[in-house]
């Protein structure tokens, strides 16, 4: 141990930046001592401290290592300013002439016949308000899941849910979960809150100016409300929250948007207020922007876990042990254990919220029903819980605070998407709250099915069987 002691003294004499640094030195010290533990310590050292080799990227690494000369590498990466060969029409609008010009430039008859099929051509004007530089439509397979029984404040009945996806096994999984929920008498679902935000930001010289601006802004609510609501027949300004960060001020405008998803609505409404502020504020900002990125628009964020963006919905179901065994081939106890382990795993990975795969249900439903698919980034945040109930069965719940969806406007009026909403009986005015509750129940069905598959050891088998 003399050698180790000397090494220990050397280690102590050198600066230690981190705990890991210290542990690494200890391992090296022990490794230098000839003992029965040397082999084990050697293995542990390499597991814990050796850098990743990124072997799956060795081709790219080798290029940087000298397989290509510096001049050749620079030439590959430098900008090129020659004019592109293929040019599309400068006009983004959907006209017969523009459509023909785009396909002339693309010069691919096979793709044209697939994307601009006769049925698409016959109803081409239906798409003019939803897309620019139109060339056709893409067909995504649509499956049907259910019946899914929902006992909600707004959604009541058995729903057959259309899901558009290219992922095999997905619809089958949601179908299984839906049938299980229906066999239990249905999922209880409750719309908890609604609201869509836009958050203009203002920068000032310092806190004094920021404070003076806020003092003026809080007296202007009635004027802001009048201006905002003058731009829409459906939107209502319900509140304004204020957030000061140093010399920056963020005004969080909260709207009710009726049955529309409402993102364009609140943007236009907030812009009217924003222009009024810039023209009339007694404290002029150095600079200001219509949105300061506090709204959480199309980004995963934590703030709505305790508030709302879009529609906040919760759904629950109680399932007997017998039905868990019949439909999922496992036990309530094992599903609870799975939930406990994956909650810890989610925390370790920094996941926002805890759920298995809300995104699968929402992406498939959003695409089928004309919703803004990019909103899945925020809509798929939420909480799934599974507990044993007093009867020894399974209690399961989901809460989704960020459901951005609508039953009017946007893509809901497109031919295929309207057809899917019609299958649900949820197209048009007065239906968005029900659609939100159906979404929550659908996510619950998916959580039950996938957790059951993992617990029964069927997850891989299902994909092997259905996805090959």
Alpha carbon distances (Å) from 131 to 34, 125, 127, 238, 398: 71, 11, 7, 31, 34
What mean pLDDT comes out for the span 193-213?
96
- CA triple 293-193-290, angle to 5 deg: 20
Residues 241 and 135 in one domain: no
CA distance 264 to 270: 10
Residues 238 and 312 in one domain: no
Residue 63 pLDDT > 60:
no
pLDDT value at residue 37: 57
CA distance 230 to 222: 12
CATH number at residue 357: 3.90.770.10
pLDDT value at residue 429: 96
Q: Which among 321, 315, 294 has a CA at the least distance from the CA of 442?
A: 315
DSSP string, 48-104: HHSPP--GGGHHHHHIIIIIS-HHHHHHHHS---SPPS----S--S--HHHHHHHHH
Mean pLDDT for the chain overall: 89
Position 351 in a domain: yes
pLDDT value at residue 29: 60
CA distance 201 to 251: 7
Position 249 in a domain: yes
Residue in the structure block whose two tokens are 């939803």: 130
pLDDT value at residue 181: 98
Residue 341 pLDDT > 90:
yes
Given the residues 114, 229, 372, 458, select the one marked as catalytic.
372
CA distance 401 to 380: 9
Residue 30 pLDDT > 80:
no
Residues paired with 396 in a beta bridge: 317, 386
Residues 17 and 53 in one domain: yes
Residues 242 and 281 in one domain: yes
pLDDT value at residue 26: 61
Position 77 in a domain: yes
Q: What share of the chain in percent tops pLDDT 70? A: 84
- Give the confidence band of 100 by pLDDT, cuts at 50, 70, 90: very high
Long-range contacts of 223-231 (CB under 8 A, 24+ apart): 223/276, 224/253, 224/273, 224/276, 227/269, 227/272, 227/273, 227/276, 228/253, 228/255, 228/269, 228/270, 228/272, 228/273, 229/269, 230/272, 231/265, 231/268, 231/269, 231/272
The number of domains in the chain is: 4
Residues 17 and 150 in one domain: no
pLDDT value at residue 466: 66
Q: Which residues lie closer than 8 Å to 306 by C-beta, 6 or more apart? A: 401
pLDDT value at residue 459: 73
Residue 463 bears catalytic tag: yes
Position 300 in a domain: no
Cβ burial, residue 234 (10 Å; 0-12/13-18/19+): middle
pLDDT value at residue 85: 84
Residues 215 and 78 in one domain: no
Residue in the structure block whose two tokens are 């806190």: 207
Of 139, 155, 170, the position where a domain reaches its end is: 139
Residue range of the domain that includes 109: 83-139
Of 263, 289, 315, the position where a domain reaches its end is: 289
pLDDT value at residue 463: 57
What mean pLDDT comes out for the span 86-113?
94
pLDDT value at residue 468: 56
Residue 241 pLDDT > 90:
yes
Residue 6 pLDDT > 60:
no
What mean pLDDT comes out for the span 331-350?
96
State both tokens at 406.
Answer: 């609508």
Position 301 in a domain: no
What are φ and ψ of residue 204, in 5° steps?
-125, 175
Residues 335 and 444 in one domain: yes
pLDDT value at residue 361: 98
CA distance 229 to 409: 18
- pLDDT digits over 71-81, tens only? 888 888 899 89
What mean pLDDT comes out for the span 397-422?
97
Alpha carbon distances (Å) from 459 to 135, 441, 467: 39, 21, 12
Residue 440 pLDDT > 70:
yes
Query: What SS3 class is residue 244?
Result: strand
Residues 33 and 67 in one domain: yes
Given the residues 167, 229, 316, 333, select the one marked as catalytic.
167
Position 299 in a domain: no
Position 294 in a domain: no
- pLDDT digits over 151-189, tens only? 999 999 999 999 999 999 999 999 999 999 999 999 999
Position 297 in a domain: no
Residues 315 and 228 in one domain: no
CA distance 139 to 419: 14
Residues 437 and 461 in one domain: yes
Residues 67 and 164 in one domain: no
Residue 372 bears catalytic tag: yes
Cα–chain center distance at 189: 21
Residues 313 and 343 in one domain: yes
438 and 182 Cβ atoms separated by less than 8 Å: no
pLDDT value at residue 167: 95
């Amino acid at each position: 141990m003399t050698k180790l002691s000397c090494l220990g003294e050397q280690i102590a004499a050198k600066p230690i930046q981190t705990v890991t640094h210290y542990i690494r030195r200890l391992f090296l010290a022990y490794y230098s001592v000839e003992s029965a533990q040397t082999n084990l310590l050697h293995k542990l050292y390499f597991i814990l401290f050796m850098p990743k080799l990124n072997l799956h990227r060795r081709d790219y690494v080798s290029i940087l290592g000298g397989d290509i000369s510096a001049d050749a590498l620079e030439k590959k990466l430098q900008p090129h300013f020659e004019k592109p060969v293929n040019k599309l029409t400068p006009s983004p609008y959907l006209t017969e002439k523009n459509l023909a010009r785009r396909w002339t430039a693309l010069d691919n008859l096979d793709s044209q016949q697939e994307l601009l099929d006769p049925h698409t051509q016959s109803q081409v004007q239906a798409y003019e308000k939803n897309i620019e530089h139109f060339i056709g439509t893409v067909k995504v397979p649509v499956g049907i899941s259910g019946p899914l029984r929902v006992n909600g404040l707004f959604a009541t009945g058995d729903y057959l849910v259309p899901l558009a996806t290219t992922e095999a096994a997905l619809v089958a999984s949601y179908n299984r979960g839906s049938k299980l929920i229906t066999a239990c008498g249905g999922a209880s679902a409750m719309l908890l809150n609604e609201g869509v935000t836009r958050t203009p930001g203002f920068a000032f010289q310092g806190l004094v100016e920021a404070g003076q601006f806020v003092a003026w802004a809080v007296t202007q609510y009635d004027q802001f409300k009048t201006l905002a609501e003058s731009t829409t027949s459906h939107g209502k300004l319900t509140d304004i929250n204020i957030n000061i960060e140093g010399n920056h001020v963020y005004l969080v405008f909260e709207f009710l948007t009726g049955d529309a998803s409402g993102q364009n609505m609140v943007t236009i409404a907030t812009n009217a207020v924003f222009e009024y502020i810039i023209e009339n504020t007694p404290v002029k900002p150095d600079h200001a922007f219509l949105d300061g990125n506090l709204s959480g628009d199309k980004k995963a964020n934590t703030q709505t876990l305790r508030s709302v963006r879009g529609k906040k919905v919760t759904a629950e179901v109680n399932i007997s042990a017998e039905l868990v065994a019949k439909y999922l081939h496992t036990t309530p106890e094992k599903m609870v254990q799975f939930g406990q382990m994956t909650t810890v795993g989610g925390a370790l990975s920094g996941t926002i919220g805890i759920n298995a795969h809300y995104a699968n249900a929402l992406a498939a439903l959003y695409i089928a029903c004309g919703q803004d698919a990019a909103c899945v980034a925020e809509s798929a945040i939420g909480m799934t819980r599974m507990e044993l109930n007093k009867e020894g069965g399974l209690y399961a719940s989901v809460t989704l605070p960020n459901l951005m969806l609508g039953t009017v406007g946007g893509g809901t009026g497109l031919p295929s998407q309207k057809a899917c909403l019609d299958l649900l009986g949820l197209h048009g005015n007065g239906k968005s709250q029900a659609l939100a509750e159906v979404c929550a129940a659908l996510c619950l069905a998916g959580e039950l099915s996938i957790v059951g598959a993992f617990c029964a050891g069927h997850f891989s088998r299902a994909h092997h069987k259905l996805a090959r």
